[in-house]
Chain A
Amino acid sequence: MKQRLDRNGIAKRAAKELKDGDYVNLGLGIPNHCADYADEGVIFHTENGAMGYGPLVSPDEPEKADFHYHDAIGRFWVPAPGMSVFDVVTSFVMIRSGRMIVILGALEVSEKGDIANWSTGGAHGGTIGGAMDLSFGSKRVIVTMEHNTKEGKPRIVKECTYPLTRKECVDLVVTDLAVIKVTPEGLLLREVAPGWTVEEVQALTGPKLIIAPDLKEIGL
């Protein structure tokens, strides 16, 4: 039976977008896993104030954990040679500098590249945090997410229904079914998961997809 990519598969595909020397901030969830698959020379940023930090501390070595060294969601890492630390003002100027690639999770992405990822709406839907900052000013916004909700509804939609994080900022969407580029003409389907047809992916997607002439299978 044909399968969707799992969360690690999505992360692995998205990580192929990252090259030696890129400065990258990873959002919560699937994006976090991209670090496991990225080129050695990719330099990771955490918005609470560090760049170029070392590997995560494994659960087998709690003695290596230190509250002075963790990422924005509290995952401990070890300091590494070449690392820098800075205050939050500097950290968010880095994000706005146009020098960084940001990989974000999302609830929805629209045809125009709008992203909704901070709130499911209503008074208790979410907390603002840094998502709006991360989607602004970076060199490139890549979204990783599951193609459909648990109920099977498309997360790639004509217009976002959840509160927006930012309008017209997403460049590439990597899901468990497809790799889709946001273009001025519309959403360009570039890759599909092994065994899936264009028609099947289209049926699970809101807006009409443009099919890339060199459409291929997602390669991991």
Chain B
Amino acid sequence: MRNKVFSSFDEAVADIPDGACIGMDSWAIAATPQNLIAALKRKGVKDLTVVTHCFIPMIFGEDKSTMPSVLLPQMKKLITPVVGIAHLGGTAFVEEYVEKGLEVEQTTIGTMSSRLYAGAARLGGIYNPVGVGTVVEEGKEKRVIDGKEYILEKPIRLDYAFVSAHKADRLGNTVYKGVFRGDGPVMAMAADFTIVEVDELVEIGEIDAEHVITAGIFVDRIVEIPEDGLATARKLRELIDELHSIEPARKLMFG
């Protein structure tokens, strides 16, 4: 059996070249493959294209939570629906990089998922109804199909996908937990190489075939998050306690 299990994150990202296009889903803390992102930062590759749902500034130190934005100095392009959060200074944190040439492509959340699916299925593009009559259609081909207007959106194909999952077996069959699923499954299918970081690596047969979300064919490398890694249960608990102690965050995140 070919080995997909890597013992370190650095080893798992070792062959990623300058200029790679990498999907790394993130909904703030949720779904974020923090350990792989941290390893990519250590590796120091440049001219990256990053595809993610939520691109927000680093709120805490890198040892507590590592977001895709930690890669800003290494990026040439960002594709995302969400840049910054109003109450965290909006887009200010990306502006110095935009001045230095960072390209930012904004797309709606649903459109991004559809474009990733198109990339996965090798479609040439999608005719998308979302955004018709808005700034989204500027500069894009439009077409009327059966009396309805659509915008041509191009597929997103990834060189690598970084995916944050709950469990995987040694064949790469993967399950997720709660809203950490995000766009992990479609990114895994849209990438040439998919690297999954998991809370727990399990033996073949431990995951019920009926419960597999991402089939092993889409997973090339697996790294189990060690106890001293990022996004462990202990680290996530400490983040919640810290957020709970900050009044604006407590008001936002608790009912």
Contacts and interface: CB of A to CB of B under 8 A. Distances in A.
A85 interface: yes
12 contacts: A49-B181, A56-B254, A66-B178, A74-B28, A76-B255, A85-B181, A88-B181, A92-B113, A124-B91, A128-B107, A128-B108, A130-B110
Contact of B236 (A67, A96, A126): A67
Given A128-B81, A129-B82, A69 B91 contact: no
Contacts of A40: none
Interface of A: 46-50, 55-59, 62, 65-70, 72-77, 79, 85-89, 92, 95-96, 123-124, 126-133, 136-137, 163-167
B114 interface: yes
Contacts of A124: 90-92
Cβ-closest 10 pairs across A and B: A56-B255, A68-B178, A133-B110, A92-B110, A130-B109, A59-B254, A167-B133, A62-B244, A89-B113, A88-B183
B3 interface: no
B179 A96 contact: no
Interface string B171-192: 0000011111111111000000
B106 A127 contact: yes
Contact of B240 (A47, A65, A85, A86): A65
Contacts of A72: 27
A133 B108 contact: yes
A77 B182 CA distance: 17
A217 B131 CA distance: 36
A62 B107 contact: no
Contacts of A56: 254-255
By secondary structure, the A interface counts as loop
B179 A48 contact: yes
B182 A49 contact: yes
Interface in B25-41: 25, 27-31
Contacts of B241: 62
A87 B183 contact: yes
A55 B109 CA distance: 25
B76 to A, nearest CB: 20
Interface residues of B, number: 55
B217 interface: no
Interface of B: 25, 27-31, 53, 81-84, 86, 90-92, 106-111, 113-114, 116-117, 129-136, 176-186, 213, 236, 239-241, 244, 250, 252-255
B253 A75 contact: yes
Contact of A48 (B136, B182, B240): B182
A42 B134 CA distance: 32
A59 to B, nearest CB: 4
B252 A96 contact: no
A165 B253 CA distance: 26
Of the listed residues B135, B179, B254, the one surrounded by the most CB atoms of chain A closer than 10 A to its CB is: B179
A166 B133 contact: yes
A75 B178 contact: no
Contacts of A95: 110
Contacts of B28: 74
A89 B186 contact: yes
Contacts of A58: 254-255
A62 B236 CA distance: 12
A132 B108 contact: yes
Contacts of B83: 127
Given A124-B90, A132-B108, A133-B109, A70 B182 contact: no
Contacts of A68: 30, 177-180
Contacts of B86: 126
Of the listed residues A77, A123, A129, A166, the one surrounded by the most CB atoms of chain B closer than 10 A to its CB is: A129
Given A88-B113, A88-B183, A130-B81, A70 B30 contact: yes
B133 A127 contact: no
Contacts of A73: 252
Contacts of B53: 88
A136 B129 contact: yes
Of the listed residues A62, A77, A87, the one surrounded by the most CB atoms of chain B closer than 10 A to its CB is: A87
A167 B136 CA distance: 13
Contacts of B253: 65, 70, 74-76
Nearest to A83: B178
Contacts of B213: 87
